[in-house]
Amino acid sequence: MKLEPDPFTVQWLEDFVPDSAAFEWDRGNQAKNLKHGLTLEDIESVFWQPYVFAGRIADPAHSEWRGLILGQSAQGRRVALIFTRRGERVRVISCRSMRPAERRLYEITTAQE
């Protein structure tokens, strides 16, 4: 996966208030994330913990904008969250355990803060 910086989204995320109404859920993304052992509450809790916006996903290309957040759930599980924006809401496309390179990036970035 190739990532690119996206300062506009960094600013948008700084102002984002992660209450339940701020997320767009449907059967598709609920089922996909449960397959990874994550509930809606687990995923939403990532936005209440320190997280890192790793960037816009440039490759593979998709028909709509996608971004990657690295963070952890309230239970401490470190996850990679792929999302898109729908207006002022977040639509989680997928949330899974971090890969080793993602974990290193998360640890380095959060240690600097």
pLDDT tier at 106, thresholds 50, 70, 90? very high
**Cα angle 61, 28, 47; round to 5:** 75
Q: How many domains does the chain have?
A: 1
Report pLDDT for 91.
95
Average pLDDT over residues 58-79: 94
What are φ and ψ of residue 50, in 5° steps? -60, 130
Report pLDDT for 37.
86
Domain range spanning residue 70?
2-112
Q: What is the pLDDT of residues 55-65, one digit of tens each?
A: 999 999 898 99
Residue 34 has pLDDT above 90, yes or no: no
Q: What is the pLDDT of residues 3-23, one digit of tens each?
A: 999 999 999 999 999 998 999
Q: Is 22 helix (H, G, I), strand (E, B) or coil?
A: helix
Give CA separation, 87 vs 15, 72, 84, 91, 105, in Å.
14, 25, 10, 10, 28
DSSP string, 59-98: ES--SS--EEEEEE-TT--EEEEEEEEETTEEEEEEEEEP
Rounded CA gap, 82 and 73, in Å?
14
